[in-house]
Structures are given as structure tokens and as C-alpha cells.
């Protein structure tokens, strides 16, 4: 705990890997009860280094926990029609339980057209409007991995959510919006701030739970944080350090650790939960498909 003064207290770190390991152990145990290993198909277009590295991480972790994973690495100039044809083939393949199309897609492909084409029962990203609607109706089935992973992490570290004042900075379809739905479903009082929010600091200082999902280096500074608040840093920014090497940093300034009660690091915070939740969603999809075939 900290009183926010300069008493030298430091926020409790909330590392991602132990929480991710617990989520993965549960997913692996559920997968082992199925007749065959759940099968995830991952599609990426082009060679964007971040996408290549994320997809490699997802594929590697899937195999580690005993899932079957197939990566389709298509050329950058793959047409929308060809991509939709692949999605249709994966939808129809009874051996495929989960489909993920890595975002962002090149400009000549409509993300909406592709995400809407994925069978909602195989939509392990939770981006199809049917799954978005179920989440907002309070009946989540397959829900977006980053916010679902964050909720798992809060539970793992026994951070109270019901009744808490939650502020999310960022309103994307991948993170901010679905996180708002999940926090509401968990009985928090929720505010979503964004680039048109005046006096952001006045809003964020209200938060017992503060989530930064913006993609701007050190946007959240100590003066924006209520003493003792739990701060979850979702941002992943690639910066070149004084040593000339590229490294990852979050949306939260490191000095926030002197004010916050608890803080997730970057890297090694939310990122590992995103991957673990993707594999948990793949097992959930496989379980539901097996039950539907009985």
C-alpha cells in the first residue's frame, strides 16, 4: 500500500506470467478431456515484424499446451476474395475449432468484411458482431482475449472489481470497448475516456482501477493517478532506447509506481494473458462444438 507521498513506497507489481500459467494450466486440463486436441488456425497477411512475432508467440504457446495450431502466412497482396475463400474453407472444416485473422490487415482488405465472415462459433478473438452482442448483453461466450485476460489477471491477484470505480483510457474494438462491457458485467462503475475527453487527468484520478489502452508512450503520469489505485498498462510501444536498441514500453510512466497501489509491467504484464486467453477461448470453442455434435 502507498499513501501517494514521497515515502518511498512502491506499487505491488502484477506480473503476467504467473497468472497466464494458471489460465493455461486450466485450458490444458480442459483440452485433455476432449477426444482430440483443439485446433487453432491463425491467418496473417504480410510480414509486419510485430505481427510475425505475435503470431509466432501464439503458435508456439498453443503447441506447448497440447493444442494443434496451423499458421497461414499469406502474401501482403492477397486479395480480399482469396482471404474470404480461406475463411469459408476453415469455417466448413470440422477439424478446425478456432480461427484468428491477425490485425491490422492491409488497407485493400476490409477488416469488417473478414471479421463478419468468421463463423461466430469459431471466432476465438470474439470480434464477430454476434459475440460482441452477447458480451454486451451480459452473456459472454467467446470474448476478446486482451480484456478477458485482464479480467482473469484481476481475479488471479484478488483485486476487487464489484463496486470499484473503473476508468479505461481507449475505446478500441479490441481492448477498450469490450473491457468496458466486462467490467460492467463484473459490477464496476465504468467510465471510458478517449482522445476527445477534456481534462483526462481529472477523469483518471477518480479511478480505483485505471486501464491505459492507448498506444502512447508514458501518457499516464503520476499526477493522473489516485493514490493506491490499481493501474493496468495495456500499451505496447516500440521505442529506441539510449543504447540504440529497440525495446517495449507501456502507456504508463514508470514514476506511477510511487503513487499506485498495484501496477502491471510492460513487457511481462497483460501481453502473456492475451495469448493464454486466446488458447482458453480455443478450448471453449472446441468444447462447445463437441457438445453440439452429440
Ligand X SMILES: NC(=O)C1=CN([C@@H]2O[C@H](COP(=O)(O)OP(=O)(O)OC[C@H]3O[C@@H](n4cnc5c(N)ncnc54)[C@H](OP(=O)(O)O)[C@@H]3O)[C@@H](O)[C@H]2O)C=CC1
Residue 46 labelled as part of a binding site: no
CB 44 within 8 A of CB 109: no
Pattern 96-135, binding to ligand X, x per CB under 6 A?
----------------------------------------
Residue 170 interface partner, choices ligand X, ligand GUE, none, CB cut-off 5-8 Å depending on type: ligand X
Please give the C-alpha separations between residue 3 and each of 174, 175, 259, 261, in angstroms, as whole numbers: 34, 30, 7, 9
What are the backbone dihedrals phi and psi of residue 228, each rounded to the nearest 5 degrees, phi first? 90, -5
Per the CB < 8 A criterion, the answer to whether 192 and 168 are in contact is yes
Tell me the C-alpha distance between 104 and 102, whole Å: 6
**What is the rounded CA–CA span in Å between residue 188 and residue 112?**
30
List the interface residues with ligand X, window 269-288 (CB under 6 A): 270-271, 274
Which among ligand GUE, ligand X, none contacts residue 100 (Cβ within 5 to 8 A by kind)? Answer: ligand GUE
Looking at beta carbons only, is 194 or 247 nearer to ligand X?
194
Residue 125 is a catalytic residue: yes
Strand (E) or helix (H) holding 145: helix 145-156
Catalytic residue among 58, 61, 122, 226: 58
What's the alpha-carbon Rg for the chain, to the nearest Å?
19
Q: Is 200 in the site for ligand X (CB under 6 A)?
A: yes
User: Which residues in 156-185 contact ligand X (CB under 6 A)?
Assistant: 169-172, 174-176
Compare residues 164 and 234 and give the one whose CB is closer to ligand GUE: 234
Which residues inside 206-245 make contact with ligand X, applying CB under 6 A? 213-216, 219, 234-237
Contacts for 279 with CB less than 8 Å, ≥ 6 apart: 24, 27, 40, 58, 61, 62, 65, 67
Which three cell numbers mark 33?
A: 478431456
The full length of the chain comes to: 294
In the set 61, 122, 123, 125, the catalytic residue is 125
Instruction: Report what 195 binds from ligand GUE, ligand X, none; CB cut-off 5-8 Å by kind.
Output: ligand X
Percent of the chain as helix, strand, coil, to the nearest 5 = 40, 15, 40
Q: Any known ligand binding at 57?
A: no
The reply, when asked if residue 170 is annotated as ligand binding, is yes
**Dist. CA 148–CA 278, nearest whole Å:** 9
Residues that bind ligand GUE (CB under 6 A): 53-54, 57, 100-103, 125, 145, 236, 248, 266-269, 271-272, 274-275
- Tell whether residue 172 is among the known ligand binding residues: yes
Decide if 80 is catalytic. Answer: no
For the annotated catalytic residues, the residue numbers are 58, 102, 125
Q: Using CB under 6 A as the criterion, which residues of the chain lie in contact with ligand X when the complex forms?
A: 146, 169-172, 174-176, 193-197, 200, 213-216, 219, 234-237, 270-271, 274
Q: Which residues are annotated as a binding site?
A: 170-172, 236
Q: Which residues are annotated as a binding site for NADP(+)?
A: 170-172, 236
Amino acid at each position: 500500500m502507498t499513501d501517494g507521498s514521497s515515502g518511498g513506497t512502491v506499487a505491488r507489481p502484477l506480473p503476467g506470467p504467473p497468472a497466464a500459467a494458471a489460465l493455461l494450466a486450466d485450458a490444458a486440463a480442459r483440452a485433455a478431456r476432449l477426444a482430440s486436441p483443439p485446433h487453432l488456425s491463425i491467418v496473417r497477411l504480410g510480414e509486419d515484424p510485430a505481427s510475425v512475432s505475435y503470431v509466432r508467440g501464439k503458435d508456439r504457446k498453443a503447441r506447448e499446451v497440447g493444442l494443434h495450431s496451423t499458421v497461414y502466412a499469406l502474401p501482403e497482396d492477397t486479395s480480399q476474395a482469396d482471404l474470404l475463400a480461406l475463411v469459408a474453407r476453415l469455417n466448413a472444416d470440422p477439424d478446425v475449432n478456432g480461427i484468428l485473422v491477425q490485425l491490422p490487415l492491409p488497407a485493400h482488405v476490409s477488416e469488417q468484411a473478414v471479421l463478419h465472415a468468421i463463423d461466430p462459433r469459431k471466432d476465438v478473438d470474439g470480434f464477430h458482431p454476434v459475440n460482441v452482442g452477447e458480451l454486451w448483453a451480459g452473456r459472454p461466450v467467446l470474448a476478446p482475449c486482451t480484456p478477458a485476460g485482464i479480467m482473469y489477471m484481476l481475479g488471479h491477484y484478488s483485486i476487487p472489481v464489484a463496486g470499484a470505480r473503473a476508468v479505461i483510457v481507449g475505446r478500441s474494438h479490441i481492448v477498450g470497448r469490450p473491457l468496458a462491457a466486462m467490467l460492467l458485467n463484473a459490477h464496476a462503475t465504468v467510465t471510458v475516456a478517449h482522445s476527445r475527453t477534456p481534462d483526462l487527468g481529472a477523469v483518471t484520478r477518480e479511478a480505483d482501477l485505471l486501464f491505459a489502452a492507448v498506444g502512447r508512450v508514458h501518457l499516464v503520469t503520476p499526477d493522473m493517478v489516485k493514490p493506491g489505485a490499481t493501474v493496468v498498462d495495456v500499451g505496447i510501444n516500440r521505442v529506441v532506447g539510449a543504447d540504440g536498441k529497440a525495446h517495449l514500453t507501456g502507456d504508463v510512466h514508470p514514476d506511477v509506481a510511487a503513487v499506485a497501489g498495484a501496477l502491471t509491467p510492460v513487457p511481462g504484464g497483460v501481453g502473456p494473458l492475451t495469448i493464454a486467453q486466446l488458447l482458453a477461448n480455443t478450448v471453449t470453442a472446441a468444447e462447445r462444438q463437441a457438445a453440439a455434435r452429440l
